[in-house]
Homo-oligomer: A and B are copies of this chain.
Amino acid sequence: MGAKRTRGQRAGLSRERVLEAALGLVERDGLGALTMRRLAAELGIEAMSVYHYVPNKDALLDGLVERVVERAVEALPAGATWQETLREYAMALRRTLLAHPEVVPLLAVRPALTARTMATVEATLDTLREAGFSPARGLRMIHAITGLAIGEAAVNAGAGSDPLGPNAVDAGSFPLLAAAVQEGAADLNGRFDFALSALLSGFAGAAEG
């Protein structure tokens, strides 16, 4: 909500602030609420003025993805061991996606590999090389971890972040599933930890790729 201005008066905007407002709008009211008119209102301008900062709505969505993913991945310190480095990367990525569940469906449509994320990949590859992994092997490890984090975030976002509650499963029809859920196996954090640990220990032991 910008201050009142008369026609033509500057609102002091920038692409950055437009993206920021868009992200805020999406977080508050959902992806469906992101319309050019509403976004403009949020910024205190008219709909068409948004087009001075963004060529069209698709580019706006691209900008959202870029902003979220880059923020997730930038400035990751190399951990003490390669396991810690990868674990930190995975958790940071998932944490960010869970904090912005609305952009996850966008991710599945836009490539997220920008120059800045490439830099992080390169740095991580270096850490892995020092641990004795070839670049090819390292890249596959990073791919696997990235896929896991994104998939887990997608499933969470799809489940509305409130997955199988203890009594959501009919114990008569699906006894094993019900028992597993009762034991807390569907807990979001726990199950991601489990998957991540399994993948990391699999990296250590798997055949050379």
Contacts and interface: CB of A to CB of B under 8 A. Distances in A.
A21 interface: no
Contacts of A184: 136
Interface residues of A, number: 70
Please name the 5 residue pairs, one residue from A and one from B, whose CB atoms are nearest each other, closest first.
A151-B151, A202-B202, A198-B202, A144-B195, A147-B151
B121 A177 contact: yes
Interface of A: 104-113, 118-119, 121-122, 125-126, 129, 134-141, 143-144, 146-152, 154-155, 157-160, 164, 169, 173-177, 179-181, 183-186, 190-192, 194-195, 197-203, 205-207, 209
10 contacts: A107-B158, A119-B173, A139-B180, A143-B186, A143-B191, A146-B151, A149-B151, A150-B154, A194-B209, A200-B202
Contact of A206 (B122, B137, B141, B198): B198
B195 A198 contact: no
B191 A158 contact: no
Contacts of A199: 144, 195, 198-199, 202
Contacts of A209: 190, 194
A122 to B, nearest CB: 4
Contact of A183 (B136, B158, B201): B136
A152 B108 CA distance: 10
Given A108-B158, A151-B148, A152-B147, A140 B206 contact: no
Contact of A125 (B176, B186, B194, B201): B176
A195 B136 contact: no
A174 B122 CA distance: 6
